[in-house]
Structure 1
Amino acid sequence: MNCLFWNVGRKPDINQYLFDVVSEYKIDLLVLAEYKGDKNELLSMLSETEHARYHVPQIGCTRIHIFSVNTPAQITPIQDTSHYTILRIPHSNLGLLTFAFVHFPSKLHTEEIDYLEESRILKNNIEEAEKSVESKLTVVAGDFNMNPFDKGMMMSTGLHSFPTKDEVKRGERTINGRSYTMFYNPMWNFFGDKDTPFGTYHYKSSHHKTLYWNVFDQVLVRPSLSENISSSDIKILTQINQKSLINKNGKPNVSDHLPLFFAIK
């Protein structure tokens, strides 16, 4: 299953890029944040090719648009809030998977403790969904507006995600007699300058502490799916159909975020 998440930054003229990326990467599940394009135009463009897709109706989460190879009747909504949606979506080999797609608030208006609390609530809602469907085949993806090392991503009471498959094989961690479920987070692999790009979002700051490049757009999976995704199945895209998504300095210029491709095998 080929998936792409992209915060498209409210660009109204984004549909040609989306059409091209679905065609080039054979995207089964296209998930967009801050999408202000004409969805009917995009659906019409795709329907004229072998890549026809369906728009999944929005319920409570209007911040996220989902275009899928599956019909809306094949997708089961579980829970919506203003900042994320949780659904059951078919996978051709694995059966039904639980997906949570996220677009958390901007760092400009949110403190670290708020991210930790929002992450705690999201994790609790995911665990409730997993209990209701009796499955932990779960994928969480989106714009978290946090880096993988931030407290909301790492704390046991938050999303509790780790950078190595070996650590998450046990499935949960016990602290002071309480058990906390875990996620595998492969996005740590994108830090540093071994490969380009150096993240999904670039921010120039005058603060004494700054990263410049951030990995705000991430995909997490439960340990039960850790062998179904690898670093080679994850790409931060810098071009689509030979059209560059970055400027001459290597910074995003179509949207302020770069798209995140990942495959669940």
Structure 2
Amino acid sequence: MRGSRLPACLARLAGQEIDVFLFAECPTDAAPVLAALNNQTTNRYAAVTSQSARVRFFVRQTGPLTGATWHDRFFDGVSDRITALECQPRGALSFLVIGAHLDSPYPMLSADGRAEWARDVARDVRTVETDIGHARTLLVGDLNMNPFEGGLVQTTALHAVMSRHLADVVVRHSARDGFPVFYNPMWSCFGDRPANRIQPRGRRRPPGTYYLDTTKDRANAFWQMLDQVLLRPALMDQLTHLEIVEGDGAESFVSEEGKPRANVISDHLPIRFEINL
């Protein structure tokens, strides 16, 4: 785990009744992560069985997913960048969750290169959906691309659009026929949002999940939205909450300047979302 204070932060987050934790860059030995999550008295967590050593899920043993069964549907054995698990809750339809940690753009991989990898991921997702017979799918993790980049928006890649309305209508366009679409709600968390209010010490809510701290690149946008959740239309109306998490109630994940505390907690800010099953 990256920061010295991260285990204590995970314990405090686990005490908030989060049903599933996804770590996109989990240590090979996941035991310390599980120990940190269970270092509180309210909730107990267990690791979900998966072939992936890099992208790992940990599920709360009580709550709406009590008694749910998890099936390992796909594993990227070459690069271990995505894993697909189908969750079958009691009394609800199953859904497919794709955990992802795609290749980093820094310093070598170009935007075109990342789009090429995203095309492979999109093809794998479609294959799994065909195999299991439904597209109640969400894809979540560190995508290492912004919502506006080609790997997210191109039809042959992840084909992720910024509104529910677009997710409903773009598939009717002849140029997009045959390319299933994702809804990307992370657009609503990018930059200063109208609903934002000034936080204590004059700090605003984070306008992204990662801060690229270089002043030499004149085209640098500084804040990046690399960590995202994408939903197929079959699930998008079930999304009831989405936020970039800036603290655990006791420890802030951002500095006085509002940047991620990379050396203490993590260089990425986590996202939290809720789906009504």
Give the TM-score normalised by the residue count of structure 2: 0.83
Q: Which residue of 2 aligns with 1:40?
A: 31
Aligned pair 1:102/2:110, yes or no? no
Q: Which residue of 2 aligns with 1:20?
A: 12
Q: Which residue of 2 aligns with 1:249?
A: 257
- The gaps in structure 2 that reach 5 residues or longer are 197-204
Cα drift, residue 13 of structure 1: 5.1
Q: 5 Å matches for 1:152-171?
A: 152-170=151-169
Structure 1 residues 93 and 213: alpha-carbon distance in aligned structure 2, compared to 1, 3 A threshold: farther
Cα drift, residue 234 of structure 1: 0.5
Cα drift, residue 91 of structure 1: 4.0
| Residues 190-214 of structure 1: CA deviation (Å, up to 9, x unaligned) | 1222332110000123112111111
Give the TM-score normalised by the residue count of structure 1: 0.87
Q: Matches of 2:58 and 2:48 in 1, distance apart?
A: 6
Contact persistence 1:173–1:182 (CA under 8 A): no
The amino acid that maps onto 1:228 is Q
Q: Which residue of 2 aligns with 1:204?
A: 213
Cα drift, residue 93 of structure 1: 5.9
Q: Matches of 1:171 and 1:121 in 2, distance apart?
A: 22
Contact persistence 2:11–2:39 (CA under 8 A): no
- The gaps in structure 1 that reach 5 residues or longer are 1-7
Q: Matches of 2:124 and 2:23 in 1, distance apart?
A: 21
Q: Which residue of 2 aligns with 1:56?
A: 48
State the SS of the aligned residue for 1:21: helix
Task: Return the structure number with greater relative CO, CA threshold 8 A, min gap 6.
Answer: 1
The amino acid that maps onto 1:249 is E
% of aligned pairs identical? Answer: 26
Q: Matches of 1:176 and 1:36 in 2, distance apart?
A: 42
Q: Which residue of 1 aligns with 2:71?
A: 76
Structure 1 residues 204 and 22: alpha-carbon distance in aligned structure 2, compared to 1, 3 A threshold: same
Contact persistence 1:54–1:72 (CA under 8 A): no
Cα drift, residue 62 of structure 1: 2.2
Range with greater deviation from structure 2 (213-222 or 112-121): 112-121
Q: Which residue of 2 aligns with 1:3?
A: none
| Residues 136-186 of structure 1: CA deviation (Å, up to 9, x unaligned) | 100000101100000000000010010110111247354458521100000
Q: Matches of 1:173 and 1:119 in 2, distance apart?
A: 23
Q: Which residue of 2 aligns with 1:85?
A: 83
Q: Matches of 1:199 and 1:177 in 2, distance apart?
A: 29
CA RMSD between the two structures: 2.4
Contact persistence 1:157–1:180 (CA under 8 A): yes
The amino acid that maps onto 2:247 is Q
State the SS of the aligned residue for 2:179: strand
Range with greater deviation from structure 2 (190-199 or 171-180): 171-180
Q: Which residue of 1 aligns with 2:269?
A: 258
Q: Matches of 1:119 and 1:143 in 2, distance apart?
A: 12
Q: Matches of 1:93 and 1:245 in 2, distance apart?
A: 37
| Residues 109-147 of structure 1: CA deviation (Å, up to 9, x unaligned) | 311122111111111111111111111100000101100
Range with greater deviation from structure 2 (26-35 or 213-222): 26-35
Aligned pair 1:240/2:248, yes or no? yes
Structure showing the higher strand proportion among its residues? 1
Contact persistence 1:54–1:71 (CA under 8 A): no
Aligned residues: 253
The amino acid that maps onto 2:270 is P
State the SS of the aligned residue for 2:114: helix
Q: Which residue of 2 aligns with 1:29?
A: 20
